[in-house]
Amino acid sequence: MSWDLQSQAAQLKADHLWRELRTLDSAQGPLVQVGGRELVNFSSNDYLGLADSAELSEAMQEGVELYGAGSGSSRLVCGTMKPHAELEAALAAFKRTEAALTFSSGYAVALGTIPALVGSGDTIILDKLSHACLVDAARLSGATIRVFPHNHLEKLRKLLETAKGRVLVVTEAVFSMDGDACPLAEIVELKEHHGAWLLLDEAHAVGVIGPQGRGLTAALGLENRVELQMGTLSKALGLSGGYLAASRQVIDLLINRARSLIYSTAPPPCLAHAARAALDIVTSGEGDRRRETLHGHIRRLSPGAPGISAIVPRIMGDETRAMEASARLLESGFLIPAIRYPTVARGSARLRITASAAHQPEQIQSLLQCLAQLGLSD
Ligand SMILES: *Cc1c(COP(=O)(O)O)cnc(C)c1O
178 lines ligand 1 (CB under 6 A): no
Neighbouring C-beta atoms of residue 257, cutoff 10 Å? 14
Parallel/antiparallel/unpaired status of strands 167-172 and 123-127: parallel
Per-residue pLDDT, averaged over 39-67, amounts to 98
Alpha carbon 40 to its chain centroid, in Å, reads: 22
Express as a percent the part of the chain with pLDDT over 70.
99
State the fold for domain 18-47+310-373.
Answer: Aspartate Aminotransferase, domain 1 (3.90.1150)
Per-residue pLDDT band for 16 (boundaries 50, 70, 90) equals confident
Residue to mutate (ligand 1; options 107, 136, 343; most atoms within 8 A of CB)? 107
Q: Which of 190, 195, 172, 211 is nearest to 311 (CA)?
A: 172
275 lines ligand 1 (CB under 6 A): no
- Residue whose Cα lies nearest atom 2 of ligand 1: it is 203
Per-residue pLDDT band for 114 (boundaries 50, 70, 90) equals very high
131 lines ligand 1 (CB under 6 A): yes
* 158 is a catalytic site residue: no
Per-residue pLDDT band for 208 (boundaries 50, 70, 90) equals very high
Q: Which atom of ligand 1 is nearest to the CA of 45?
A: 1
Tell me the CA–centroid distance for residue 208 and ligand 1, in Å: 15
Q: Which of 1-10, 58-67, 170-179 has the lowest mean pLDDT?
A: 1-10
- Residue whose Cα lies nearest atom 14 of ligand 1: it is 203
Compute the distance between CA of residue 250 and CA of residue 13 in angstroms, rounded to an integer. Answer: 45
- Tell me the pLDDT tens digit for each residue of 84-97: 999 999 999 999 99
CATH number of the 54-282 domain: 3.40.640.10
Q: What pLDDT score was predicted for residue 377?
A: 79
Q: Which of 46, 201, 202, 319 is catalytic?
A: 201
Q: Which of 84, 131, 273, 295 is catalytic?
A: 131
* 273 is a catalytic site residue: no
SS3 52: coil
Q: What pLDDT score was predicted for residue 304?
A: 79
Amino acid symbol at 110: A
- Tell me the pLDDT tens digit for each residue of 215-240: 999 999 999 999 999 999 999 999 99
Per-residue pLDDT, averaged over 25-36, amounts to 97
41: β partners: 335
Res. 376: pLDDT tops 90: no
Mean pLDDT of the chain: 96
Q: Which atom of ligand 1 is nearest to the CA of 110?
A: 10
Q: Which atom of ligand 1 is nearest to the CA of 130?
A: 13
* 95 is a catalytic site residue: no
Q: What pLDDT score was predicted for residue 218?
A: 98
Highest mean pLDDT pick, 2-16, 245-259, 364-378: 245-259
Q: CA angle, corner 326, sides to 322 and 330, nearest 5?
A: 170
Q: Which of 41, 44, 45, 260 is catalytic?
A: 45
- Tell me the pLDDT tens digit for each residue of 145-185: 999 999 999 999 999 999 999 999 999 999 999 999 999 99
203 lines ligand 1 (CB under 6 A): yes
176 lines ligand 1 (CB under 6 A): yes
Alpha carbon 323 to its chain centroid, in Å, reads: 23
Q: Which of 130, 105, 107, 147 is nearest to 267 (CA)?
A: 105
- Tell me the pLDDT tens digit for each residue of 277-331: 999 999 999 999 999 999 999 999 988 777 889 999 999 999 999 999 999 999 9
* 176 is a catalytic site residue: yes
Domain extents for the chain? 18-47+310-373, 54-282
Q: What pLDDT score was predicted for residue 192?
A: 98
